[in-house]
Amino acid sequence: MSVRVGEGIDRHRLEAGRRLMLAGVEIEHSHGLAGHSDGDAVLHALCDALLGAVALGDLGQLFSDKAEENRDRASADFLRAVMERVVGAGYRLGNADLTIMAEAPRLAPHVDAMRASVAKLCGCEPQRISIKATRGEGLGPEGRGEAITVRAVVLVEEESS
């Protein structure tokens, strides 16, 4: 069986008056992630990791932030479309490891819901999805509460014919 690895990184500014969407889950917070779409940095990083693993470009190539139809669009739509491409290329998700860097809000209470959401969108068991959160400890834009950054690493497995 052939396996491939992909990496994705996404960072968005925090902005007052927006909903905070992470991994397809709305999280109560005073600020949300700025972006043309819903700004879900978890799903954006995951999409880029998946696309990179199968050498199909990146999220911006598929869903331009200049396109009006993507304004405020749910990033779950992006991930569903990316998974269709991954499967169409003959692969399936082996596992995903996601790290969210954010000073606030506290994400530990939401990890199980986020894992379940990502697993459902990817068509796999939650045991294939790892989501961890870490604080910025006052350093950088994450530590100052200005942004959230997400790193994603995925392993995809070639489907046997």
Residue-wise pLDDT tens digits, 86-143: 999 999 999 999 999 999 999 999 999 999 999 999 999 999 999 999 998 889 999 9
What domain range is 129 assigned to? 3-158
CA distance 127 to 125: 5
pLDDT for residue 71 is more than 80? no
pLDDT for residue 17 is more than 80? yes
CATH number at residue 98: 3.30.1330.50
CA distance 106 to 112: 13
Closest alpha carbon to 93 in 9, 1, 8, 4: 4
Contacts 24+ apart (CB under 8 A), 65-70: 65/35, 65/36, 65/37, 66/36, 70/36, 70/37
Name the domain count of the chain: 1
